[in-house]
Structure 1
Amino acid sequence: MNESSDSYREKKAFFDRVLTIYGRKPVLEALRDADLQCHRLHLADSNRQGGIVGELLAEARRRNVPVSHHSRDELARISKNGKQDQGVALDILCPEFRGLDAYLAELPGLPRQRILALDGITNPQNLGMILRSAAAGAIDAVLWSRRGNAALGPLVIKASAGTVYKAPLVLCDALPQALEMCAGQGCEILSLRADAVESLFGYRPAGHAIYVLGNETSGVSAAVGKLASRGLGIPMQRGVESLNVAVTAALIAYAENP
């Protein structure tokens, strides 16, 4: 492998751990949080000086966070939400974020992994609560695809009570392809289904296990369902058909003592 390839991999691994947030108040709160590793503050040249922008600059100076100034269009490309970013964005380094390739490279040397895979979780509140449960419980990784899931925006961060920054997130482009790669590394794929006969609480995987959570309305997609070797359900009483997907994630996080 040549030096340029090594440099590219290192750069990619670094930016896979960066989460960019936007909006003046959310960014100010993040800058004031000593537990967060703030990497760079981005400001639009069109911002009026003083007020909350002045507070942002003061906090950045206090914490030695580099500041970059951009045109309004450039800032919108950084925030990926020009209508709501208010001319402000902040890069935060999340130590437990990594790309799928990096995670798979580590996998052979890791103890038995318990992984959540998110298949079309479109409600930001659900996604935030899932990440909070994963960060708190016995979940080693959350497989989050950029395609099909809610973006990691302010609503997700709020619903997670800020724990999104601590969540063990593994980023990929599309879930079916990512699951195929994981299966190739010996991971067992388990789909959570309302019609499954076998209980989540009774099954103990022998090796790495991926628990797939499906869309709030339609459940696990057909493409992902074909990759699952087993379906697991949660026992229900009194005619209840299913639980909220975030509640299901919490149950998985505490379903066994690893």
Structure 2
Amino acid sequence: MLIDILAAAGDAAPQNQFGFIEAMEQGGVIAWTIFGVLVIMSVGSFYILITKLLEQNKIFRQYREVRSTFWRAPSLREGANKLDRDSAWRQLVDDGLAAEAQHGKLTDQLEAHDWLHGSLARSEAAINSKLAGGLSFLATVGATAPFVGLLGTVIGIYRALINIGLAGSASIDKVAGPVGEALIMTAIGLLVAVPAVLAYNWLQSRNKRIAELLSGFSTDLLANITSRGTIRPEVAATTTKAAPAKPAAAPVKPGPVATPKPVTKP
């Protein structure tokens, strides 16, 4: 009899479920909206990271081709034809050659060096601007994601206080759900912000390296065009491999020394 009463009491007691889904369901539309915003931020951050990383790796790979094949061509036009059409380095060469051709059409007296330098600098700025595209989104996510998660935290704590006031007591079944939701939102906000900040700093450092390479290549182009092909980078000056050194001749062993015969007097 006692066992039946305890079993019936256990069946009648409310069963409280605690977990991520339960906490989000208690949060309602606001909690799901904040969670959706954080998911969009995270997906966008990883998409930008992957696409920009592939783009940067492509530029670095093309730079190795420039160092190995471009400067060994007889002319800039022939060297440009060896590069990919969508290459940033091909764009610089084409813009430099176009600026050289346009200089003769100018009515005002302008030095070729200034005109070419300005054209190449404009081409560099366009390439760097394209590489920097999307990084502002990473910076925005890294700066705002913790505050978006904090908004969910504030709303969860506010709901917990309301439940305490309505129940008249701070029992765990009234507080655990909203507080759990609040902690989950804080954790998600940090998980979204930290990778975005790391990706932004990493991609920025790689973009600075690419900008340095572009600037050096632009300087070499300017010198080559204004010198009519006389000046070329030193790395491409030698196209043949150095001949292997001849082995040293073996030392000559000294032969037996002949001893002079004694001279006898008559």
Which band: TM-score by shorter chain? under 0.3
Greater Cα radius of gyration, structure 1 or 2? 2
Q: Normalising to structure 1: TM-score of the pair?
A: 0.20
Structure whose residues are more often strand by fraction:
1
Q: Normalising to structure 2: TM-score of the pair?
A: 0.19
Higher relative contact order (CA 8 A, sep 6+): 2
